[in-house]
């Protein structure tokens, strides 16, 4: 039996800092680094659902100003941490798509890129948040980002469409492929507005300036809500065995997503 495998492959190539964290390295010994990354993907996914909920709630018109999430430094940190989670979740999702659908089996290098680029991306967002003096044309920015997202989604769709997979699973992969470009782009866009780095509302208003960016916003919201809903369902379906409990929790997830859809439409109607 081979027991010295911890020194090879992924264990040897992962960021050394992770190996120093006792809990993570214990998990890696018993189930492997990919297992740890699998859990990180799940946890960042749940984090992003919470962040998206807070974001949608904060953007939509509230009955009183008091009900808004205040602009405290801790929330700025939460927003920055969300960019780290989004970068990791997107890049790791891309790695999984390459592994599962495009036959890329040697993904140790991909794991290194996932961690490295996530940190670089979060650093860039952090810089934009602090600098607050950037400007980008909404139309030009979204023409590029939307086109890249659609092409990525199309590449995945053409790969899975003729397979036997269930439609919800395929849509999860396709929406994921679109979001892997669109969400990091969206977070960047929020901070690419001169002097309004803390005002997501102003950035979203800019997206509704013309029909094209309005459609982009709608596509982004639809893909995010679907991806979040199916992601939650998928985690639940792994662990809840009772049929009745599964049905109840599925209904709860649907209701939760429906509430978010409602709030999203309220943003659009501002």
Partner 1 sequence: MSKSYSLTLTIRRFDPDASRRWFQTYTLSTGPILRFVDLFRRINVEQDATLAWTSSCEHAQCGSCSVKVNGRPMLACELLVENAVNLFGTTKFRIEPVTVAPVVRDLVVDWEKAYERVHRAKPYLIEPKELPPGMTEHRISPGKIARYEEATRCINCFCCAEACLSSCRNFIGPNAAMAGIVRMMDIRETQKEERLDLLYSEEGIYRCHTSKACSHVCPKEIDVAHFIALAKEGAF
CA–chain centroid gap for 213, Å, is 20
Among 23, 166, 255, 269, indicate the residue that binds partner 1 (CB under 8 A): 166
Q: Does 103 contact partner 1 by CB under 8 A?
A: yes
Rounded Cα–Cα distance for residues 88 and 180 (Å): 10
90 with 184: CB under 8 angstroms? yes
Least distance to partner 1, CB of residue 47, Å: 17
Q: Does 4 contact partner 1 by CB under 8 A?
A: yes
92 with 176: CB under 8 angstroms? no
Least distance to partner 1, CB of residue 8, Å: 11
> Of the listed pieces 55-63, 92-100, 123-131, 186-194, which binds partner 1 according to CB under 8 A?
92-100
Residue 39 or residue 265: which is nearer to partner 1 going by CB? 39
Rounded Cα–Cα distance for residues 124 and 190 (Å): 13
**Token pair in block for residue 48:** 């992003």
**Token pair in block for residue 57:** 């709630």
**Token pair in block for residue 44:** 């960042």
Rounded Cα–Cα distance for residues 34 and 46 (Å): 18
> Of the listed pieces 71-79, 116-124, 147-155, 231-239, which binds partner 1 according to CB under 8 A?
231-239
Give me the 22-61 binding string for partner 1, x by CB under 8 A, dash otherwise.
----x--xxxx-xx-xxx-xx-------------------
Q: Does 132 contact partner 1 by CB under 8 A?
A: no
123 with 96: CB under 8 angstroms? no
Residue 26 or residue 132: which is nearer to partner 1 going by CB? 26
Rounded Cα–Cα distance for residues 107 and 98 (Å): 9
Binding positions for partner 1, rule: CB under 8 A = 1-6, 26, 29-32, 34-35, 37-39, 41-42, 96, 99-103, 105, 160, 162-166, 169, 234, 237-241
């Amino acid at each position: 039996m081979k027991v010295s495998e911890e020194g090879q492959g992924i264990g040897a190539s992962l960021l050394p800092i992770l190996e120093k964290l006792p809990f993570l390295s214990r998990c890696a010994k018993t189930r492997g680094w990919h297992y740890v990354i699998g859990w990180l993907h799940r946890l960042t996914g749940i984090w992003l659902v919470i962040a998206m909920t807070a974001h949608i709630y904060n953007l939509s018109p509230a009955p009183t100003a008091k009900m808004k999430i205040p602009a405290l430094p801790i929330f700025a940190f939460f927003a920055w941490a969300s960019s780290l989670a989004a970068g990791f979740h997107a890049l790791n999702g891309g790695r999984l798509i390459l592994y599962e659908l495009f036959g890329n089996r040697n993904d140790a290098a991909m794991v290194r890129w996932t961690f490295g680029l996530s940190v670089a991306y979060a650093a860039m967002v952090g810089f934009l948040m602090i600098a607050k003096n950037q400007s980008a044309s909404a139309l030009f920015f979204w023409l590029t980002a939307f086109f890249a997202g659609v092409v990525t989604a199309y590449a995945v769709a053409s790969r899975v469409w003729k397979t036997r997979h269930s439609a919800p699973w395929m849509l999860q992969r396709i929406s994921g492929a679109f979001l892997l470009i669109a969400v990091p782009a969206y977070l960047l866009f929020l901070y690419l507005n001169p002097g309004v780095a803390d005002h997501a509302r102003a950035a979203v208003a800019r997206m509704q300036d013309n029909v094209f960016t309005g459609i982009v916003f709608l596509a982004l919201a639809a893909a995010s809500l679907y991806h979040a809903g199916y992601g939650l369902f998928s985690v639940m379906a792994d662990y809840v065995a009772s049929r009745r409990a599964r049905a109840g929790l599925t209904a709860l997830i649907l209701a939760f997503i429906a509430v978010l859809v409602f709030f999203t439409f309220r943003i659009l109607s501002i």
